[in-house]
Amino acid sequence: MEKQLIINNSRVYFSGEKNILEVIRKHNIELPTFCYHSELSAYGSCRLCMVEVDGRGILPACSTPPENGMRIKTNNEEIREMRKIIVELLLANHDKDCTTCRKSETCQLQSLSRKLGVDTIRFKNVAKKEEKDLSTHALVRDPGKCVLCGDCVRFCEEIQSIGAIDFANRGPNSQVCPSFAKELDDSECVYCGQCARVCPTGAITPKSEVSYVWKALSDPKKKVVVAIAPAVRAAIGESFGIVGENGTESAGKIATALRSMGFDKVFDISFAADMTIVEEANEFVERLGNDKHMPQFTSCCPAWVKFVEQYYPDMIKNLSSCRSPQGMFGSIAKKIMPQALETPKEDLVVVAIMPCTAKKFEARRPELSKDGIQDIDYVLTTQEFARMIEESGLRFADLNPSAFDMPMGFKTGGGVIFGNSGGVTEAVLRNVIQAKDGIDETEEFSFVRGEDGVREAKVNVGGKELKIAIVYGLKNARKIVRDIKADKSRYDFVEVMACPGGCIGGAGQPVYKDISIRKARTKVLYENDKTLELHKPQDNPYVQKMYEQFLGKPGSREAHELLHSKHSNKKRLQEGPLTIYTPKNEKKLNINVCFGTSCMLKGSQKLLKQILDFVETKDFKDNVGIDASFCFEKCSKGPVVRIGEQTLEKCSIEAAELAIMEEIKKIQK
């Protein structure tokens, strides 16, 4: 029998929805929320989605499961007044610098204030001006605009398994921040920026480089070249109302807009994606031949690369040494464009327009520079590019399309689909199948496509069955890596993207909530692939010419110099211990809790809190100094704690308490 409930006097049928909020929204009623995302667990902190359920009173819709026969009211006088009070309280404790806020157009607090008719704030303004965290090249954290919804915390933990930020303190002092209130750059953030995507206000935003690009464009000495990533063409139209069920491909309009702004050359990162596949497939074939360092991990997602470097440094050898398409484009541009544009290398400015905030971090990796000159000077997100179009006064929807410049404007379908989860794998297969089997085909390897965060596939190449994994979301990646290390799973090739859906879901894209928007972007890239003349990256004639003129052959010494990179162990923070307690008395006991990555994963953060509680309960603070240290080099035996002269491996709170009591007795003698 089909289940039903009554919403505002209308009969509604439901099946499979996990809460009544989903049922209500399915029937075209948009309940307001701050803290609810279908991708995340229900949190229920904002209370904006409260509804009245007959016989049960006012309940949060996001955490109440639907039941047969429920009678629900979503909008009466009491509920409306509650929602207005909640928003007013948030505004009273909010930095209302709205006119210059980067999130102004998509700010949920502004939107709800307007929808709920909040025209006055009846509460005293208690907002404190707080310093912005500008420590990273990728993100800006503005604590004064945080509404404590927890969306960023949950995404970082539940989808990425990083936990770089969390709640701290209590009551009016509550805040969201990295551990010990450090700056974001001192945390284990991988700069994926998904915290910024789900943040409903301007508390976390991509760090803008627009002003630097305008300055370069205005400098008559500079020659400025630019390239756009595949995913940008599938999303930029959303910023200008060009949307549809199937999305909109806007590459031609993008090229016209960039030339109007004054860029000297307009290229396509998809060209470099073709080169990436040529190099990565060559590397994969070599690894298959000698069965060394398998499986091969893709290396085009900088957030994933940093994740491996800091959590699984023993697996760095499995990462492809190939640079990302952005990295390859930058090195090639800095090599060939000074001569082509008749300008000194130091006066050439290379700009990349990307869907991703982690690309800003990647551009400043020391490996992606030569003689002190960065290969990529500036990285703009799709959001920043949209802002530049608006600042230029261009009517984007009305622009006539134009072509990219050659040689780095020509691409194949294999380079374009890079923007989708599974696209790198499919492009590699298009290359490897031909290399190993000698079959010249343009088959779509649709079995690697899909929406699931973990997908597996098997394919026969050269008489050998290859097992492949396609993953997005770093929590999924962590499980895959653990299974590989434990020999529970065996793969030959593993593609990982940090962002849901791949680059098309990047944090630099126009903000979206409905997953159907992401699906439409995905479809755009696959449809674009179909309309192109060539589909296999190795068939790109301009890539072939690049090898003839500058690189020799795939995997050559010249290719390695320009198109490959090295990765390094970043498993611990690069500074000394963080002091938690400083003892007042001369006779003191020093306690050090290891906060290296392995110990963190084994519970050292929880253990530190338990030790702090024990020391405070026993009133030992005056005699105890407590530090969080990096690292005791006992990664397999964590959590590790040093109490006085004792080093406790696989330490429990019981063992720590006993050791503290023993050492305190020695001090007090």
Which amino acids are annotated catalytic?
Answer: 280, 283, 300, 320, 359, 362, 367, 503
Distance (Å, whole) CA 599 – CA 591: 15
Q: Which of 498, 441, 422, 479 minimizes the C-alpha distance to 193?
A: 498
Distance (Å, whole) CA 431 – CA 419: 17
Distance (Å, whole) CA 615 – CA 196: 37
Q: How far is CA 389 from CA 43, 239, 261, 379, in A?
A: 38, 10, 8, 16
Distance (Å, whole) CA 406 – CA 268: 9
Distance (Å, whole) CA 424 – CA 273: 9
Q: CA 50, 54, 57: angle at the middle one, nearest 5? A: 45
Q: Which of 233, 279, 272 minimizes the C-alpha distance to 255?
A: 233
Residue 537 phi, psi (nearest 5) = -55, -35
Which two structure tokens, joined as six digits, stand for 475?
Answer: 């929590």
Which two structure tokens, joined as six digits, stand for 584?
Answer: 């007042």
Distance (Å, whole) CA 178 – CA 176: 7
Distance (Å, whole) CA 79 – CA 285: 63
Distance (Å, whole) CA 209 – CA 55: 55
CB neighbour list of residue 460: distance below 8 Å, 6 or more residues apart: 466
Strand, coil or helix: 52: strand
Helix (H) or strand (E) holding 535: none
**Helix segments in 471-623, DSSP class H:** 474-485, 515-531, 541-546, 557-563, 597-601, 604-617
Distance (Å, whole) CA 215 – CA 604: 47
Amino acid at 255: A
**What is the rounded end-to-end Cα distance, in angstroms, of the chain?**
76
Q: Which of 632, 571, 629, 630 minimizes the C-alpha distance to 307?
A: 571
**What b/e sequence results for 449-468 when a residue is b if at least 16 CB atoms lie within 10 Å of its CB, and e otherwise?**
beeebebbbebebeeeebeb
Which two structure tokens, joined as six digits, stand for 185?
Answer: 């750059």
Dump the DSSP string for 213-271.
Answer: HHHHHH-TT-EEEEEE-HHHHTTGGGGGT---TT----HHHHHHHHHHHT-SEEEEHHH
